[in-house]
């Protein structure tokens, strides 16, 4: 395994402690399954170091039997499952919103996202073994080994999503044990939900009658209206971000690229939390006219992104490329980041625009 320092050197790093970094977009677009060392890292505290041999996951709360599971116990008691899913930060593409007005948080470009084969056990299988009442109106709270401003990291998901077949306790990413920065030895993977609901370095799973009261769940990752600011926000108010919206990004060419007149390949990704992407429109003239890109999607992976490609015939001059996706409900993306601006810079999903010059 490469060292953390070697992996950091591959990424665009926003901070070392906590460590936050994303890959350049062209490298992100190079493989449908993102290599673990090209996968963005979002952490709120220091990376914990966990000894796999002594590791235990506790499962407790509103269940019949509390469980203490070693990694070996998890592997031997429950069927192994692999799910191909996209993980995405709610702050992905925040840089576009920051261009409208100041926002808090790191200025992520379109790379706070990645897709992997996640292998582990179904959280639902573990909860059923513990004797869950599957019909109850409950929440599944996670607690992790890292510390954020004096508290352990924690978040929760509704029980129905915890029991959904795609929701995992994962120990491997693309066939290899999780890297330390991606949650070794065990993390939750909640496909379709914002990355914040997929805690890394899991310590404890608790079934309870309300969402987690951890500040990450109770105060952060809330969507606020545009008239709310950092000064006026009631942190407990706002809408809890779970399912991620439709989004699309141009990965190549890069901003500011100089291209030759004629045929040029434009490519990127499109993604929607839990609905299928059915169409991707690309414009070579800032959105006045559009053409349809070819889509490349793994049909066995409903929670994973779609790669798209189009060959555009570009005349000489300065151009604004733009992309917008459509989902199976016939919905598309807002044209400008102004339309959905919020002071936290979450869910930035306007048409992605790239200015280029053709000579």
Binding residues vs Mo ion (CB under 5 A): 42, 89, 195-196
Positive/negative CA dihedral, 33, 252, 306, 351: positive
Partner interacting with residue 182 (select from ligand MTE, Mo ion, none; CB below 5-8 Å by kind): ligand MTE
- Considering the rule CB under 6 A, would residue 146 count as an interface residue with ligand MTE? yes
Nearer to ligand MTE, 124 or 195 (CB): 195
Partner interacting with residue 22 (select from Mo ion, ligand MTE, none; CB below 5-8 Å by kind): none
**H/E run at residue 217:** helix 215-218
Dihedral pair phi/psi, residue 202, rounded to 5°: -65, 140
- Considering the rule CB under 6 A, would residue 144 count as an interface residue with ligand MTE? yes
Q: How far is the CB of 290 from ligand MTE (least distance, A)?
A: 31
Helices assigned H by DSSP within 58-214: 71-77, 94-98, 123-129, 159-163
Partner interacting with residue 152 (select from Mo ion, ligand MTE, none; CB below 5-8 Å by kind): none
Nearer to ligand MTE, 89 or 280 (CB): 89
- Considering the rule CB under 6 A, would residue 172 count as an interface residue with ligand MTE? no
DSSP 8-state symbol, 338 = G
Helices assigned H by DSSP within 68-186: 71-77, 94-98, 123-129, 159-163
**H/E run at residue 25:** helix 25-28
* Of residues 190-249, those binding ligand MTE (CB under 6 A): 195-196, 198-201
Q: How far is the CB of 42 from Mo ion (least distance, A)?
A: 4
Partner interacting with residue 143 (select from Mo ion, ligand MTE, none; CB below 5-8 Å by kind): none
Using an 8 Å Cβ cutoff, are 85 and 304 in contact? Answer: yes
Partner interacting with residue 41 (select from Mo ion, ligand MTE, none; CB below 5-8 Å by kind): ligand MTE
Nearer to Mo ion, 193 or 341 (CB): 193
| Parallel/antiparallel/unpaired status of strands 291-292 and 277-283 | antiparallel
Distance between CA 315 and CA 125 in Å, rounded? 57
Cβ-closest position to Mo ion? 89
Using an 8 Å Cβ cutoff, are 98 and 92 in contact? Answer: no
- Considering the rule CB under 6 A, would residue 42 count as an interface residue with ligand MTE? yes
Site stretch for ligand MTE (CB under 6 A), options 34-42, 241-249, 310-318, 325-333: 34-42
Q: How far is the CB of 289 from Mo ion (least distance, A)?
A: 35
Nearer to ligand MTE, 220 or 327 (CB): 220
Q: How far is the CB of 87 from Mo ion (least distance, A)?
A: 9
- Bridge partner residues of 240 (DSSP): 222
Which residue bears the tokens 């948080």? 105
Q: How far is the CB of 101 from Mo ion (least distance, A)?
A: 21
- Considering the rule CB under 6 A, would residue 297 count as an interface residue with ligand MTE? no
Which residue bears the tokens 């292998």? 119
- Hey, what are 331's tokens? 């919905």
- Considering the rule CB under 6 A, would residue 44 count as an interface residue with ligand MTE? yes
Which residue bears the tokens 């709270």? 141
- Contacting residue, 11, 40, 314, 319, with ligand MTE by CB under 6 A: 40
Using an 8 Å Cβ cutoff, are 154 and 144 in contact? Answer: yes
The gap between the terminal CA atoms of the chain, to the nearest Å, is 44
- Hey, what are 209's tokens? 């009658």
Q: How far is the CB of 47 from ligand MTE (least distance, A)?
A: 9
Quick one: 208 exposed, middle or buried, by C-beta within 10 A (0-12, 13-18, 19+)? middle
- Considering the rule CB under 6 A, would residue 345 count as an interface residue with ligand MTE? no
The binding site for ligand MTE (CB under 6 A) comprises 39-44, 87, 89, 144, 146, 153, 182, 195-196, 198-201
């Amino acid at each position: 395994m490469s060292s953390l320092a070697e992996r950091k050197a591959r990424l665009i790093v926003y901070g070392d402690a906590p460590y936050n970094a994303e890959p350049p977009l062209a490298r992100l677009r190079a493989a449908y399954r993102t290599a673990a060392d090209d996968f963005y890292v979002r952490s709120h505290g220091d990376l914990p170091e966990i000894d796999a041999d002594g590791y235990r996951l506790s499962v407790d709360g509103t269940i019949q039997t509390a469980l203490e599971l070693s990694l070996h116990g998890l592997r031997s008691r429950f069927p192994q499952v692999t799910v191909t899913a996209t993980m995405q930060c709610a702050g992905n593409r925040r840089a576009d919103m920051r261009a409208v007005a100041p926002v808090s948080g790191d200025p992520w470009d379109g790379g706070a996202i990645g897709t992997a084969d996640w292998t582990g056990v179904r959280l639902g299988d573990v909860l059923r073994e513990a004797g869950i009442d599957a019909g109850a109106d409950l929440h599944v709270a996670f607690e992790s080994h890292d510390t954020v401003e004096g508290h352990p990291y924690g978040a929760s998901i509704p029980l129905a999503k915890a029991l959904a077949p795609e929701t995992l306790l994962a120990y491997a990413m693309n066939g290899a044990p999780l890297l330390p920065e991606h949650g070794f030895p065990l993390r939750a993977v909640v496909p379709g939900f914002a990355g914040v609901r997929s805690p890394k370095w899991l310590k404890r799973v608790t079934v309870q009658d309300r969402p987690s009261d951890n500040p990450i769940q109770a105060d952060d990752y809330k969507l606020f209206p545009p008239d709310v600011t950092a000064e006026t926000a009631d942190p407990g108010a706002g809408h809890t971000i779970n399912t991620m919206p439709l989004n699309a990004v141009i990965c190549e060419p890069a901003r500011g690229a100089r291209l030759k007149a004629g045929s040029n390949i434009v490519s990127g990704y499109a993604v929607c939390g839990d609905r299928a992407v059915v169409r991707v429109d690309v414009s070579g003239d800032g959105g006045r006219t559009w053409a349809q890109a070819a889509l490349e999607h793994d049909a066995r992976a409903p929670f994973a992104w779609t790669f798209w490609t189009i060959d555009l015939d570009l005349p000489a001059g300065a151009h604004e490329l733009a992309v917008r996706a459509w989902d199976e409900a016939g919905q598309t993306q807002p044209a400008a980041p102004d339309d959905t601006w919020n002071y936290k810079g979450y869910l930035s999903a306007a048409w992605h625009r790239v200015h280029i010059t053709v000579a």
